[in-house]
């Protein structure tokens, strides 16, 4: 049995951790370094740091903030948001990140995935897939630029391509479910995990402990990611892991 991971996400805008609903109505939550240290000490398996405005605003990489956050924790740190070049990846890894998460740049130039994997190895390259259900076409499609731009690529087809190009894992966010707290998009995540063999991190929709229990019992995803429910102490990670363990799901202590 695979050990399931619990991963908090720090969405960063203007140097602060923020959170909204469906990627809008953002409110400030706190300082990245403070939250990172708290999660490191309270049972998180990994941490994701997403600069949610870089793709749109085009500001510089937040290297100082990445460095100060990485220095506060021992658990693996994945950094994403507006990564455009191999040089960007190199700078972020040198600043202390263990992995990078790429979305828009990979969609616009899939060869970028292959080049990144060749230079930095597959385990350091996570492809973030923001997806949404299209009622007209009755299928899920890929979105880029912080969930603002629909691309004419079916989400499942894109996952298969990303795996073929060598990425180490996939971070799948349901835009329909993001921040709504009514559970993960189980139908898509089940199909995704049955289709590709690389680890999937599920994001978007966690509202309570039972949502993670349902995620891990009904799909083969490797990890569950959430933000606001952890930031606001609505769900405690240690308590969550105890519940999962009692229900036969293997988690780290």
For Cα atoms 188, 10, 250, give the angle at the middle one, nearest 5 degrees.
55
**Which of 51, 90, 89 lies closest to 69, judged by CA?**
51
Q: What share of the chain is helix, strand, coil (3-state, %, to 5)?
A: 35, 30, 35
3-class DSSP assignment, residue 61: coil
- Catalytic residue, candidates 45, 88, 130, 211: 130
Burial class (CB in 10 A: 0-12, 13-18, 19+), 94: exposed
**Which of 173, 169, 216 lies closest to 197, judged by CA?**
169
With helix as H, strand as E and coil as C, how does 67-128 read?
A: HHHHCCCCCCEEEECCCCCHHHHHHHHHCCCCEEEECHHHHHCCHHHHHHHHHHCHHHEEEE
Region for residue 61 given its phi and psi (left: phi exceeds 0; alpha: psi -120 to 50; beta: otherwise): beta
Could you confirm whether 130 is annotated as catalytic?
A: yes
Could you confirm whether 194 is annotated as catalytic?
A: no
Region for residue 173 given its phi and psi (left: phi exceeds 0; alpha: psi -120 to 50; beta: otherwise): beta
Active-site amino acid positions: 11, 130
């Amino acid at each position: 049995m695979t050990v399931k991971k619990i991963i908090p996400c720090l969405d960063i805008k203007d140097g602060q951790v923020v959170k909204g609903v469906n990627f809008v109505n953002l409110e400030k939550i706190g300082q990245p370094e403070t939250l990172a240290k708290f999660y490191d000490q309270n049972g998180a398996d990994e941490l994701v740091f997403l600069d949610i405005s870089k793709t749109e605003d085009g500001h510089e990489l937040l290297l100082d903030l990445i460095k100060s956050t990485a220095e506060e924790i021992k658990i693996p740190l994945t950094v994403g948001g507006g990564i455009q070049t191999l040089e960007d990846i190199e700078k972020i890894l040198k600043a202390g990140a263990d992995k990078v998460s790429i979305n828009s740049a990979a969609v616009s130039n899939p060869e970028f995935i292959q080049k990144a994997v060749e230079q930095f190895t597959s385990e350091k390259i996570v492809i973030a897939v923001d997806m949404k259900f299209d009622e007209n076409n009755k299928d899920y499609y890929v979105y880029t630029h912080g969930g603002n731009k629909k691309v004419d690529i079916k989400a499942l087809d894109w996952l298969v391509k990303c795996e073929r190009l060598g990425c180490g894992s996939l971070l799948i966010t349901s835009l329909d479910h993001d921040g709504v707290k009514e559970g993960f998009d189980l139908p898509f995540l089940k199909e995704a995990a049955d289709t590709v063999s690389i680890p999937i991190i599920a994001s978007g929709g966690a509202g309570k402990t039972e949502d993670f229990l349902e995620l891990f019992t009904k799909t083969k995803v490797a990890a569950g990611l959430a933000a606001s429910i952890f930031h606001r102490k609505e769900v405690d990670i240690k308590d969550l892991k105890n519940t999962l363990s009692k229900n036969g799901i293997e988690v780290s202590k």
